[in-house]
Amino acid sequence: MFQQWRRRRAVKRITAGDGSALRRFRIWQLLSRSVMHLDLATTDGPARYTVDVRQWKTDENGHVIVHLYRNGLQHAASRVPALFPVEGGAIDVATSGFGLKRCHYVTADGTTHQLMPDPRSAEGRRSRFEHRRPGLSRAVGALSIVALLVGVALLLQEIAVPILQIPPIAERIGPIEPLIRVPLWLTITLAITAAVASTERALRLRHHWLLDAAGN
C-alpha cells in the first residue's frame, strides 16, 4: 500500500518535457551532473531513455530536478525523488547530498536494473575503473567504508557525551568523558575524508542511511 501511495505521489510530480535536445556531457560537469541511460525495446522500436540530473541546479523551492529524455529529446521532468513510468515498468531516481542515491529501472514484477552511466560522466569513469582494476576498485571501496565508519563513531560520541553529562543521568552513571579527544585539524580532515568517501560511493550508487549520513 505504501509503495502504491509513493508511486501515485511521484507520478503527480511529473511534468511534460519541452522537447529540447539532450546536451552533450562536458568535462567540467564531472561533479555536478549525472547522466544515465536505459535501452528498451518498445512497440515503436528501440528506445533510449536518458536520465539527466544537475545536482547543484535546483528550482525555486530548492528541489533537484530530474529530466528524462527519450531518444535524445526531453520527454518529462520531475523533482526528486522521481518515478517515471516507461514501457514495462518505471525509472526510479533519488539523490543525496553527494550525487545519485539510486537510478534504476524497476520492472512490473519488481526486478531492478541499474541504468548505464554515460561513459563521459564521473559515474561512467568510476565504472570503467571498476572493470579495468577490480582489485584496486574493491580496495578503494573498502577505504571509503572505513572512513565513514570512523565518521559514524565520532558522530555518535558527539551525540552521546552531552546526553550522558546531563545531571540526572550523570548522577546515576558517574562522570563521562569522551573516549577520544580529536583536535580541530583532525576533525576537519576527517570531515573532508568522509565527504570524499561518500562522493566515491555515490559514483557507484551505493548509499546507506547511517554510513553516508556521516559524510553530510
Percent of the chain surpassing pLDDT 70: 95
Domain end call among 116, 144, 173: 116
Q: For the chain, how many structural domains are there in total?
A: 2
Does any domain span residue 164? yes
Does any domain span residue 122? no
* 111 alpha-carbon distance from chain centroid: 20
Does any domain span residue 37? yes
Does any domain span residue 128? no
Q: Are residues 110 and 161 in the same domain?
A: no
- Judged against a pLDDT cut of 80, whether residue 5 lies above it is answered with no
Strand partners, 89: 86, 107
Domain end call among 86, 116, 146: 116
CA-to-CA distance for 29 and 52, rounded, in angstroms? 12
Which three cell numbers, joined as nine digits, stand for 165? 553529562
Q: Which domain holds residue 163?
A: 133-215
Helices (H), 165-204: 167-173, 184-203
State residue 140's pLDDT score. 95
Does any domain span residue 28? yes
Among the listed residues 93, 20, 87, 39, the one whose alpha carbon sits nearest the alpha carbon of residue 63: 93
Q: Are residues 11 and 108 in the same domain?
A: yes
Q: Are residues 34 and 92 in the same domain?
A: yes
- Tens of pLDDT along 179-196? 778 888 888 898 899 999
Handedness of CA 169, 174, 175, 177 (dihedral sign): negative
Phi, psi of 192 (to 5 degrees): -65, -40
Q: Which residues contact 108 (CB under 8 A, 6 or more apart)?
A: 88, 89
> What is the pTM for the complete model shown?
0.85
Higher pLDDT, 216 or 110: 110
Q: Are residues 111 and 145 in the same domain?
A: no
Q: Are residues 185 and 80 in the same domain?
A: no
